[in-house]
Amino acid sequence: MTNDQIILEVCIDVFQCNKDDIIIDKRLMGGMSNYTYIVAIKGQKYTFRIPGKKAEMYVDRTVEKYHIEMVESLDLNSEVVYLDLEKGYKIAHYIEGTPLNELNPTDYLEEVSNVLHKLHSSGMKSKYPYNPLERLAKYESYTFEFGFQHSERYQSLKAKLLGYASTLIQPSEYVFTHGDCQASNFVKTPDGIKLMDWEFSGNNDPLYDIACFGDFVYEYALKLLPVYLGKEPSVLEWNKVYFYMAFQALQWHNVAMYKEFIGLSIDLGFDFVKIADDYLDDATLFLNSIK
């Protein structure tokens, strides 16, 4: 079944409408995992997400639903009207706006900081922790199913990361975090900055979210940190952001290799082997920056 057929079938069922009531406008670009479309139903715009191949390996939809409901009162996310817990299809009201990755994210550091403080200071606590190191082990296990053996370089970087973990991972400071707040998930709207896509949310170090903002362009995270803190960061605070950026690089290295093994380099037109290697370069840079 094509994506268009999926959208039509699900929308007809969810909205109890006719095929002629549905207009599939366009696909939103920018992601390497999901397919997201703008769909108009009787003149009302929605986004329709179709998860990519094997997305269920990384996202628990029950957890995602729990967190979407948690953050409703914060008015940061688009209103979700339908979420299929088995297939991951999600329909939400479309918010007119521009993702920050299509602008200059560093022009909006104060606004991004305010959004993250609103989230981190909300007092909300999830029953689902992010568990970075446990998650890394799980993602590694997926590649083992294909007989993959990590390189000596990866093993050395991971050992260096784990060597810092005891002093830089401090669960007593955990709050509810977004977990994937790269610039593309912040949307500038007439009503302020919104934060989309809560697939990787959970209790975690708030500085993990700062590190996420540096995905693709790591300098964004380094510029955001002093704005978020409202002061010049301490050595410990810089180190934690570098540590989490290194962790994320190793995490996404494993995801990229898994995508290569299941054929997504061909399906999506991305060279996931090169992407995986680039993540090792990033991890090297970030770990060498820890003082």
Residue percentage of the chain with pLDDT more than 70:
99
Confidence of residue 30 (pLDDT cuts 50, 70, 90): low
| CA separation for the pair 120, 111 (Å, rounded) | 14
Is residue 284 predicted with pLDDT exceeding 80? yes
| CA separation for the pair 226, 232 (Å, rounded) | 5
Tell me the average pLDDT across 48-66: 95
Q: Are 179 and 130 in contact (CB under 8 A)?
A: yes
Confidence of residue 268 (pLDDT cuts 50, 70, 90): confident
Encode pLDDT of 196-236 as tens digits: 999 999 999 999 999 999 998 999 999 999 999 999 999 99
Q: Are strands 22-28 and 186-189 parallel, antiparallel or unpaired?
A: unpaired
| CA separation for the pair 291, 288 (Å, rounded) | 8
What rounded mean pLDDT belongs to the chain?
96
The tokens describing 225, both together, are: 């940190």
Task: Give the distance, in angstroms, between the CA of residue 170 and the centroid of all CA atoms in the same chain.
Answer: 22
Q: Are 256 and 150 in contact (CB under 8 A)?
A: no
Separation of first and last alpha carbons in the chain:
52
Encode pLDDT of 145-202 as tens digits: 999 999 999 999 999 999 999 999 999 999 999 999 999 999 999 999 999 999 999 9
- Nearest to residue 224, comparing CAs of 119, 112, 100? 112
- Whole-prediction pTM: 0.95
Contacts of 180 (CB under 8 A, 6+ apart): 197, 199, 200, 201, 212
Alpha-carbon radius of gyration of the chain: 19
CB environment 241-262: b (16+ within 10 A), e (fewer): bbbbbbbbbbbbbbbbbbbbbe
Query: pLDDT at position 31, please?
Result: 62
